[in-house]
Chain A
Amino acid sequence: MLLIHCPYCEEARPEVEFAYGGEAHIARPVDPSTYSDEQWEEFLYIRSNPRGRHHERWRHSHGCGRFFNAVRDTVTDVFETTYKAGEARK
């Protein structure tokens, strides 16, 4: 079970308190109607799925309830960092 540092609680907490939220920094467009079908498909379904550094969202569901972002190595599962939602990509 992973230990995940919640940037809001400012402490490492057990994985079972968290929910994974998919790839991070995929912002919903301000006006989706301006997106072409291809752009919209990209937004909906296309993810980077890297080997190595992955920017992803987690929610401290059974803790402070906050969504936040993390950089996790998909090979080792080691969290490089976690940071609050809205902060720039790290």
Chain B
Amino acid sequence: MTGFRLADGGRIDRRTKRNFTFDGKARWGYAGDSLASALLAQGQMLFGRSFKYHRPRGILGAGVEEPNALVTVDRGPGRVTPNLRAPSVAIHDGLKAVSQNRFPTLKTDLIAVNNVLSAFFPAGFYNKTFMWPRAAWEKVYEPIIRRLAGLGDSPTTRDPDHYDATYAHCETLVVGAGPAGIAAALEAAATGGRVILIDEQEEIGGGALSDPAQWAWLAEASAKLAAMDNVTVLSRTTAIGHYHQNFVVAAERLTDHLAVNEAEGPREKLWRIRAGEVVLAMGAIERPLVFEGNDVPGVMLASAAKTFALRYGVAVGRKVVVMAVHDSGWRDALALHKAGVNIAAIVDLRRDVASDLIEGARDARIACYQGYAVTSISGGQAVKGVTIALAGFGKGQQLDCDAVLMAGGWTPTVHLWSHAKGTLRWDEAWGAFVPDKTHENLRCVGACAGAWSFGKGLPGGLLPAPKPLHESKAFVDFQNDVKARDIGLAVQEGFRSIEHIKRYTTNGMATDQGKTSNLNGLQIASGVLHRPVTEIGLTTFRPPYTPQSFGAILGHHKEALFQPLRKTVIDDWAASHGAVYENVAQWRRARFFPQGSEDMDAAVARECRTVRSAVGVFDASTLGKIEVVGSDAAEFLNRMYTNPWKSLEPGRCRYGLLLGEHGFIIDDGVSARLAPDRFHLTTTTGGAARVLNMMEDYLQTEWSDLDVWLTSTTEQWAVIAVQGPKARRVIEPLMEGIDLSPEAFPHMAVREGRICGVETRLFRVSFTGELGFEVNVPAEHGRMVWEAIWAEGQKHGAVAYGTETMHVLRAEKGFIIVGQDTDGTITPDDAGLGWAVGKKKPDFVGKRSLARPDIVAPGRKQLVGLLTDDPQAVLEEGAQIVADPNQPVPMTMLGHVTSSYHSATLGRSIAMALVAGGRDRMGETLHIPMPAGTISAKVVAPMFYDPEGSRLNG
């Protein structure tokens, strides 16, 4: 034996060495080694420091259940992953692994003083101690606790990797590719249906990988599966969770097992699998035993030692003692002995053990101690020996050893079963919960079903000990440093439900979700409470089964692909003319077009002045549009909107105000009647989908007798607003078949014709207060028509203007923006839009609510204008408004500023606000307290420019 590497055996490739580093030191292993097996082979017993007490910790398990040996793997800038479990990390050339939770080094950890003081850190310590003073929490306690109790460091740079994702469908999904899972996959595949078999390990085989007798069968089965077209085998893939109707999400690790320079393509792939049937073959996890010193490096699960020896060719010690309460410990001891590991003794709490096991041990010349328990471990950073005692109380007896194996029985892995809301039943023989019933097409096979023979054993994991529980340092949850006595304390302090005990002690709440601790915790609570386990309940398993990178969950949809950014057909033109953008819903819109060194204020002032004095062109394509067709179209709109629609003549437009049934404003927009049975509706940019859905709802479910159909035409039409006194002159030369004269084409009219040779729906409408048109053309022609209008506009001094200028111009006229000047609690009357409510209409959506007591009560917030005493002071949108700036805090707030701008046209600031009883306060001075001082403003009507509307008639 070189180091701890056995002379032969294992599935490692002894001809291929792999060089890596651990805590900066050069190490090596063989191809096929895990980080844990390679380090164990070189005698590394110490792998990390515990979370709370910083106790030295070694390897407990050989799989994902490992709670102690958490490492950070560094694959270069932005590729640092904390909290990986050493037994699940495959080694490759250049792997850089670093232990966690130690300061400054693993061997000399200064914070281990917590361990010495551990009597002062019982369960609930943080909750009890760091409550007051509150300010100290943020400044003192939290930073220190975070320093002490970190579980690795979170990444601080952008993840440079990309991730794949897909949906997949199959008739049968098998989770877990041990012998039971492989058998289930072969059986399902024979029927011809699509089968997906996934397994979290580097290669399929599960428990068979640790049993050379099964390797021939395994190779044959693997080849058979690989040859079948209807089977997809995914290793290195973890089923994170089971969701409704057999939707299983799994993450495949594609490159982390490769050297950095060999890693190509996505790092992980998220599989979103919908399966007809799901077969869970997730196996079982061995339980540790709970005794004094059970966390000293070198104390581990018997099954893990077997895996290290038989799969990786590594002995976990030179002289090994097995502490069992279960037959599997004996079997593992014998298998280890056969593999060349020196088993010094088998200790079993049971007096009666099957004779074949005892004979096997005798033949192997292994000392047997039946009826004994380990009562303590000597050694701090590594096991030096054990003390055993008859029934745990008798006279202590020392045994020399350098490793102690625990065989505490087996816990079926029911996590995904529980995600699926499958029920569990207590199985006395297993001393564990096993799957019972489910409403999903889901079944368990093999060990996770409780259908696997590991032999017999005692159900409880707490060994009898000479010390009383409250003095013992026997650990239950290794990762969260929960001791048996913490559970005792929780019960003593009155916690009864396991859900409460869990949260108080944090047992099972670490990143391993209690894979090795839940059952022992439950058994101990049951013992202290003198109530059967089944009455104490079980905590809930939730996805993910093991910690999962966010990258895979996002899949491709990060950075540029995070979500669609919608652009209009005129967007490119805007970009080439220097537009500064803002995002509105998913759209990006040109906000303003600075020239030279102009800032936003200067650009917007120039754009505003030009629109008012000459003409401006604005891309309004993002407006929502709905084509309403059918003989009942007018009747339908009449029921939806507050104002009357039946009387609207074809060729005319109307402002429509849409309420919810609760009476509050939801959306607005100008709509046109193109023909008796055809309307062209517009909605706000952000409201397009919502309004269409709401209208469909009424049409389909309330008024299905109406002959009306709705079609979204938002993206069919590009919309070019041409606004300003010279607007008519700009579009006139381009139009065909539409008489633009004021007599033939008045304000709020619509005409169909042609512009630049393509069809158009031309609206004469204004959101600026100026003479204005909105040119609708099919989107594919939008850019061409825009450029033609722009070219024509140049003859008249036109500007292109953006959303910011649009906002200022409309605010000067007191036009509201739904969602800015309303907030979902504003009625038409509150917004000063009472005129838009058809008083004679018997009904429309929201009408009944307008008569509710709260809606008609005085004192509601109403939309008003505000003029600051200092004309240059621009109020902050959202700022609160009070009547008396000198009242003590908390002040009585009357409302808030909804829109506020500097108006170049007026040479001063303007604002709109929602103020309680606002319309009764005309002329009153109100106050807006700001950090830099209180600003005073006078309440006025929300109409700052051309109140007569004469400019519309240009």
Contacts and interface: CB of A to CB of B under 8 A. Distances in A.
A–B contact via C-beta, under 8 angstroms: yes
A57 B245 contact: no
A37 to B, nearest CB: 6
A46 interface: no
Contacts of B842: 31, 33
B813 interface: no
Q: Is the interface of B mostly helix, strand, loop or mixed?
A: mixed
A3 B247 CA distance: 9
B693 interface: yes
A51 interface: no
B853 A37 contact: yes
A12 B573 CA distance: 45
A39 B150 CA distance: 56
Contacts of A14: 274
B245 A3 contact: yes
Contact of A1 (B244, B700, B701): B244
Interface string B453-476: 000000000000000000000000
A1 to B, nearest CB: 5
B439 A1 contact: no
Interface string B681-712: 00000000000010011101110100000000
A68 to B, nearest CB: 9
A86 interface: yes
A18 interface: no
A89 to B, nearest CB: 14
A76 B421 contact: yes
A59 B853 CA distance: 33
A87 B697 CA distance: 16
Contacts of A43: 661
Contacts of A59: 693, 696-697
A28 B702 CA distance: 7
Contacts of B849: 40, 44
Nearest to B845: A28
A66 interface: yes
Interface string B838-868: 0000110001110111000000000000000
B846 to A, nearest CB: 9
Interface string A3-28: 10000000000110001010000011
Nearest to B438: A76
Contacts of B245: 1-3
A57 B701 contact: yes
B848 to A, nearest CB: 4
B504 interface: no
Nearest to A1: B247
Interface residues of A, number: 29
B701 A67 contact: yes
Contacts of B369: none
Contact of A33 (B274, B697, B848, B853): B848
A65 B702 contact: no
A83 to B, nearest CB: 13
Contacts of A19: 693
Contact of B848 (A1, A40, A65, A85): A40
Given A2-B245, A32-B843, A37-B852, A65 B439 contact: no
Given A61-B693, A77-B244, A67 B702 contact: no
A40 B848 CA distance: 8
A43 B439 CA distance: 35
B244 A2 contact: yes
Given A3-B244, A33-B842, A78-B439, A28 B696 contact: no
Nearest to A14: B274
B665 to A, nearest CB: 16
A66 B697 CA distance: 9
A35 B848 contact: yes
Interface in A33-54: 33, 35, 37, 40-41, 43-44
B243 interface: yes
Interface residues of B, number: 26
- Residue with the greatest number of chain A CB neighbours at <10 A, chosen from B243, B693, B701, B842: B701
B42 to A, nearest CB: 46
A6 to B, nearest CB: 14
A85 B704 CA distance: 10
A87 B701 CA distance: 11
A1 B243 contact: yes
B17 interface: no
Nearest to B844: A32
Nearest to B854: A37
B662 interface: yes
B439 A76 contact: yes
A13 to B, nearest CB: 11
A32 B244 contact: no
Contacts of B852: 37, 40-41
A37 B445 CA distance: 59
Contacts of B696: 59, 65, 67
Contacts of A21: 697
Interface string B819-837: 0000000000000000000
Contacts of A35: 848
B701 A85 contact: yes
Contacts of A77: 244
A21 to B, nearest CB: 7
B439 A3 contact: no
Given A3-B245, A32-B847, A65-B696, A44 B704 contact: no
A59 B243 CA distance: 21
A88 B698 CA distance: 18
A27 to B, nearest CB: 7
A77 B438 CA distance: 13
A79 B704 CA distance: 26
A10 B77 CA distance: 51
A33 B247 contact: no
B421 A44 contact: no
A64 B853 CA distance: 41
Given A59-B693, A67-B697, A44 B662 contact: yes
A1 B242 CA distance: 10
Contact of B661 (A28, A76, A78): A28
A77 B704 CA distance: 29
Nearest to A4: B245
Interface in B218-247: 243-245, 247
Contacts of B700: 66-67, 85
A14 B847 CA distance: 37
- Residue with the greatest number of chain A CB neighbours at <10 A, chosen from B243, B439, B848: B848
A85 B421 CA distance: 31
A77 B245 CA distance: 10
- Residue with the greatest number of chain A CB neighbours at <10 A, chosen from B243, B662, B697: B697
A55 B175 CA distance: 35
B705 to A, nearest CB: 10
A2 B853 CA distance: 42
Contacts of B853: 37
B848 A86 contact: no
B843 A31 contact: yes
Nearest to B243: A1
B443 to A, nearest CB: 17
Contacts of A3: 244-245, 247, 274
Nearest to A73: B439
Contacts of B439: 76, 78
Nearest to B699: A67
A44 B244 contact: no
Given A15-B244, A28-B702, 15 more contacts: A1-B243, A32-B843, A33-B843, A37-B852, A40-B848, A40-B852, A41-B852, A44-B661, A44-B662, A44-B849, A57-B701, A59-B693, A61-B693, A67-B697, A67-B701
18 contacts: A1-B243, A1-B245, A1-B272, A3-B244, A3-B245, A3-B274, A14-B274, A15-B244, A32-B848, A33-B847, A37-B853, A40-B849, A40-B852, A41-B852, A59-B696, A66-B700, A67-B700, A85-B704
Interface of A: 1-3, 14-15, 19, 21, 27-28, 31-33, 35, 37, 40-41, 43-44, 57, 59, 61, 65-67, 76-78, 85-86
The 4 A-B residue pairs with the shortest CB-CB distance in the complex, in nearest-first order: A32-B848, A3-B245, A2-B244, A67-B700
